[in-house]
Amino acid sequence: MAIPVVDPDRYGEQLADKRAYVERLFASFEPPKLEVFASPPSHYRQRCEFRIWHEGDDLFYAMFEVPPGDPKRKRVIRLDQFPVASESINQLMPALRAAFLASDELRRRLFQVEFLTTLSGEALVTLIYHRPLGDAWEAEARALEAELGIMIIGRSRKQRLVLTRDHVWERLQVEGRTLHYQQVENSFTQPNAHICQAMLGWASDVTAGRQQEDLVELYCGNGNFTIALAENFRRVLATEISRTSVASANVNLEANGVTNARVARMSAEDFAQALKGDKTGRRVAEMGLESYDFSTVLVDPPRAGLDQQSCRQLSEYAHIVYISCNPVTLAENLAQLTHTHDIVRFALFDQFPFTDHCECGVWLRRR
């Protein structure tokens, strides 16, 4: 794994390379013109994690470069600043390091530091230790919270000390609206908030005007897309397997005044079975699936994409919005989905500049 080398002057060049790669990969599908959404060329990640490397009386933030095919030869890379990370993270890095160096209580057996920041200015820092944390640590950590204007969580084996709260509140601007999102420590959130806004705006645009129809959403996380798209539909039913994400999604629905959406804790596979007629179980009965008129499905699967059965299930919907973090598995899935659907809109979201990763969005309409 290589650490991204940020060079803002070359950002246009790297984005052009990604565009060319995506256009080549999907050329056989003859998609419409690719819509490209650029990231800020630096300071685009709102969350990062670093190992803390101790050398004598010194310590510093570290990442590792691992040669392909030889993981035992990983190289420690010292990071005093990290241009990939948000400006808030870069401001906090030296201030926190100075605090660790000045306090044996804060530095002793400190193993890792995780940052979660927002465009709206909040910062949550998790300090992970290889030792139990006691009253002395808590007193110094609370003083550090006050000094830096941040929130701190302390973690060690079987221990989690939340000093203020375990989440931040992000505010995203989507098509003239301000959307509020609770983002919980140690759970998944979109790391590039600027691109997240672009993704939500694009998905909202392609699904506009379906207020007489219903949306079903798989892998909904903390309700990221659910919140943004709810006003486009009569009702939304979203599913997610993570208990933490479901709880956060419900908080976010309430925070945004969304009353026409429901989040069910269920795997995408179990939900597919329920849609096919397996109505056993209390959770399925409570959904009232027979009352929905699903015209559109939104899916944002893991990197592995969807299996053949899931693709068959998706092909039953009139409209498919597919958000993908892996163009290769997206192409494999589209080879099946395009037997029944046409690609109407196609987008590239540069979620991770200066890496090979590409995030894509596809809107398909049944023929």
Q: Please report, in range form, the residues annotated as the binding site for S-adenosyl-L-methionine.
A: 190, 219, 224, 240, 300
CA atoms within 13 A on the CB side of 339: 11
Single-letter code of the amino acid located at 292: Y
Instruction: Please answer whether residues 338 and 27 qualify as being in contact, where contact means their C-beta atoms are separated by less than 8 angstroms.
Output: no
Q: Would you write out the chain's pLDDT as a tens digit for each of its 367 residues? A: 578 889 999 999 999 999 999 999 999 999 999 999 999 999 999 999 999 999 999 999 999 988 877 777 888 999 999 999 999 999 999 999 999 999 999 999 999 999 999 998 999 999 999 999 999 999 999 999 999 999 999 999 999 999 999 999 999 999 999 999 999 999 888 999 999 999 999 999 999 999 999 999 988 999 999 999 999 999 999 999 889 999 999 999 999 999 999 998 887 777 777 777 665 555 666 677 888 889 999 999 888 998 888 899 899 999 999 999 999 999 999 999 999 999 999 999 999 999 999 999 999 999 9
- What are 245's two structure tokens? 């994400």
Measured CA to CA, the distance from residue 105 to residue 13 in angstroms comes to 47
Phi-psi label, residue 70: left if phi above 0, alpha if psi -120 to 50, beta otherwise:
beta
Instruction: Please answer whether residues 131 and 108 qualify as being in contact, where contact means their C-beta atoms are separated by less than 8 angstroms.
Output: yes
Residue 47, phi then psi, degrees to nearest 5: -140, 140
Query: Has 325 been annotated as catalytic?
Result: yes
344 Cβ partners below 8 Å, 6+ apart? 32, 206, 363, 364, 365
Indicate the pTM of the whole model: 0.93
Instruction: Please answer whether residues 189 and 119 qualify as being in contact, where contact means their C-beta atoms are separated by less than 8 angstroms.
Output: no
Domains of the chain and any CATH numbers: 8-41+192-366 (3.40.50.150), 47-168 (2.40.50.1070)
* Burial of 196 (C-beta count, 10 Å sphere; 0-12/13-18/19+): buried
Q: Please report, in range form, the residues annotated as the binding site.
A: 190, 219, 224, 240, 300
Instruction: Please answer whether residues 222 and 202 qualify as being in contact, where contact means their C-beta atoms are separated by less than 8 angstroms.
Output: no
20 Cβ partners below 8 Å, 6+ apart? none
Q: Which of 220, 325, 358, 360 is catalytic?
A: 325
